[in-house]
Amino acid sequence: METIRRTRIVDLLKRVDYGTKVNVKGWVRTKRGSKAVNFIALNDGSTIKNVQIVADGEKFDPETIKQITTGACINVNGLLVESPGAGQNVEIQAEEIEIYGTCPQDYPMQKKGQTFEYMRQHAHMRLRTNTFGAVFRIRHNMAIAIHKFFHDRGFFYFHSPIITASDCEGAGEMFQVTTKNLYDLKKDEEGRIIYDDDFFGKMTSLTVSGQLEGELGATALGQIYTFGPTFRAENSNTPRHLAEFWMIEPEVAFIDMNDLMDLEEEFIKYCVQWALDNCQDDLEFLNKMIDKTLIERLNSVVSTDFIRLPYTEGIKILEEAAAKGRKFEFPIKWGMDLASEHERYLVEEHFKKPVILTDYPKEIKAFYMKQNEDGKTVQGTDVLFPQIGEIIGGSVREESYDKLINRINELNIPMKDMWWYLDTRKFGTCPHGGFGLGFERLILFVTGMQNIRDVIPFPRTPKTAEF
Ligand code: 4AD
Ligand code: MG
């Protein structure tokens, strides 16, 4: 076969130099036709769009044509020609076809219209479908948007550790990291495991958040962001929770509640706008196949002001709704952590736009949040989104050494593990704050997909770690 430099399909479809000899390589989506002529829809992952390969029966051995089935991988030389068919400008008049890999009948992505659950069980092959191709191209674009947003605003990308000895959120949902022989654990008289001889000489886990180290970065470099995997051993089998997810955590010195909320809102809008500007083809596909209101919803989010509402006001609105007969599964009471049904009521029914809820009761929030004068609430913010619920959790941090120590003591958090964190408050403390955005929740929103397992290539959830 003649060697011609490969063109990616995304680039090929923009070309108008008809008559040029081109090469494309990719996977067959469909083949239809007759003895006289075959039409092959070829995709190489560079775009949702296929290129049509026209293979004249007389030019090719029927055995070769027979092997070109859905899923097969082929290498094609041919002429770029103007396409008479609707829906595409160009097609390729094939001259040579090499079969890289045939695809037997048991190819798991053979049939169209499989359920998402089926796709998850074949997550190693689902990447080759239109839907997952679109989702993961968008996921890539969102990662680029995030770096661009922060870089353009003078934030430094800061790498917090994956292995850590502290539990940032204090929820005890950590996966342990050890090299100890689990069949032969050394214990003290009270039955507690001795870690002195473990790899790190202490109990360590996978991080639930890079925030604590991010605060060290922000109180030195001014403004940083982390963007990496985080791990939570919470046994939540919901369409919104993963055991391994990616989080973006900016942390900023000299910031107050209003600055923080401005940053949260500007950041999300920037990412959504980026998708609208850079992922048009994939969004149009998802809008057609997955969620007919997707693009409309994305446009609406970038053009509306988010509601900013104290938790206490939110509770009042929920109580009034309940009094008027709106049924909630969980009764409403000041001090409660809002359930998903409450968040969705506020966002989807009451305000019909994103809501930033602020000033939560301190009992339901982490130790590091700045305490308000009232002694009851803290300067935490949750950004609540239609369909998603909580997409961001953030706060202004308690910068007073004494107040922070008191809270740590009240919550019985082991001090000896926290000494380095407390040093930020001891040496040149400053007002600061930040937030964490769950990357997959953003991808859920931007793609219109319904289940968080379908927006990360290889989901980790309770009882699943395949692939
Ligand atoms: O609200 P969270 O727990 O906040 C923190 O971790 C803070 N340290 C962030 C900070 O202030 N720097 O988590 C932040 C976000 C949530 O709003 C949610 O979007 C996402 O992380 N998240 C999850 N996403 C997928 N699966 C899970 N199990 C998640 N838990 C939290
Ligand atoms: Mg939260």
Helix H, strand E, coil C: the string for 297-350 is HHHHHHHCCCEEEEHHHHHHHHHHHHHCCCCCCCCCCCCCCCCHHHHHHHHHHH
State residue 438's pLDDT score.
98
Going by alpha carbons, the residue nearest to atom 20 of ligand 1 is 438
Question: Distance from the CA of 50 to the center of ligand 1, in angstroms?
Answer: 38
Question: Distance from the CA of 392 to the center of ligand 2, in angstroms?
Answer: 7
Question: Distance from the CA of 168 to the center of ligand 1, in angstroms?
Answer: 11
Q: Which residues form ligand 1's pocket by a CB distance below 6 Å?
A: 168-169, 209, 211, 232, 234, 241-242, 245, 247, 249, 390-395, 434-436, 438, 440-441
Question: Distance from the CA of 383 to the center of ligand 2, in angstroms?
Answer: 9
Alpha helices in 188-230 (DSSP H): 211-221
State residue 87's pLDDT score.
79
Going by alpha carbons, the residue nearest to atom 24 of ligand 1 is 438
**What's the length of the chain?**
467
Residue ranges near ligand 2 (ion) with Cβ within 5 Å: 393
> In ligand 1, which atom is closest to the CA atom of 208?
6
Q: What is the pLDDT along the chain (467 residues), one digit of tens a residue?
A: 999 999 999 999 999 999 999 999 999 999 999 999 999 999 999 999 999 999 999 999 999 999 999 999 999 999 999 998 877 899 999 999 999 999 999 999 988 889 999 999 999 999 999 999 999 999 999 999 999 999 999 999 999 999 999 888 887 799 999 999 999 998 999 999 999 999 999 999 999 999 999 999 999 999 999 999 999 998 889 999 999 999 999 999 999 999 999 999 999 999 999 999 999 999 999 999 999 999 999 999 999 999 999 999 999 999 999 999 999 999 999 999 999 999 999 999 999 999 999 999 999 999 999 999 999 999 999 999 999 999 999 999 999 999 999 999 999 988 888 899 999 999 999 999 999 999 999 999 999 999 999 999 999 999 999 99
Question: Distance from the CA of 394 to the center of ligand 2, in angstroms?
Answer: 7
Question: Distance from the CA of 379 to the center of ligand 2, in angstroms?
Answer: 13
State residue 384's pLDDT score.
98
CA gap 451, 387 in Å, rounded: 11
State residue 267's pLDDT score.
98
Q: Could you tell me what percentage of the chain is helix, strand and coil, using 3-state DSSP and rounding each to the nearest 5?
A: 35, 25, 40
Pocket test for ligand 1, best of 174, 206, 247 (most atoms within 8 A of CB): 247
Q: Which two tokens stand for residue 189?
A: 């008289």
